[in-house]
């Protein structure tokens, strides 16, 4: 069963990379590119939006964002573009620069969250 899960995870990563390649194609609509950017950045990011040690929610974001976002992105991409991207993804490995961008986005989200919490705490104690 573990080998089957690992195979599915590899297939999902390959599909995410194919979607990333499709996003670089000029025939892909801009709204699909925007969705793809966020989904692929989250998927390849070495940092999770919600850390995995948080019970249930830590894994839930990975189980919803990646497959759901990829499902929607594949439907927004023209079929001929997706077929070409899948063929290209089968022969190459993922671009690691996407992971760095994803990590930067996750760090930015966490920083904004921390600043918002500090602001709310200070505002509620009337220190601002």
Where in the sequence is the domain holding 8, given as residue range(s)? 2-124
- Give the length of the chain: 128
* pLDDT of the residue at 101: 74
Band (pLDDT 50/70/90 cuts) for residue 77 is very high
Alpha helices by DSSP H, listed for 1-128, are: 2-23, 30-44, 57-76, 79-90, 97-124
* pLDDT of the residue at 41: 77
Examine the pLDDT at 94 and tell me if it is beyond 70.
no
Band (pLDDT 50/70/90 cuts) for residue 106 is confident
* pLDDT of the residue at 95: 54
* CA distances to 2, 8, 69, 71, 117 from 83, in Å: 29, 19, 18, 15, 45
Contact 64, 48 (CB under 8 A): no
What's the number of domains the chain is made of? 1
Band (pLDDT 50/70/90 cuts) for residue 115 is very high
Q: Which of 25, 36, 3 is nearest to 87 (CA)?
A: 25
The owner of tokens 């760095």 is 100
pLDDT in tens, 19-41: 888 999 999 999 999 888 888 77
Q: How far apart are CA 56 and CA 84, in angstroms?
A: 37
Please state the pTM of the whole predicted model: 0.57
């Amino acid at each position: 069963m573990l080998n089957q899960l690992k195979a599915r995870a590899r297939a999902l990563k390959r599909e995410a990379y194919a979607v990333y390649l499709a996003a670089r194609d000029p025939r892909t609509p801009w709204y699909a590119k925007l969705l793809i950017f966020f989904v692929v950045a989250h998927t390849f990011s070495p940092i999770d939006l919600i850390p995995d040690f948080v019970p249930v929610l830590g894994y839930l974001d990975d189980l919803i964002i990646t497959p759901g976002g990829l499902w929607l992105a594949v439907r927004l991409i023209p079929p001929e573009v997706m077929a070409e991207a899948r063929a290209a993804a089968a022969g190459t490995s993922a671009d690691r620069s996407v992971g760095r961008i994803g990590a930067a986005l996750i760090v930015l989200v966490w920083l904004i969250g921390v600043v918002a919490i500090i602001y709310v705490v200070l505002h509620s104690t009337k220190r601002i």
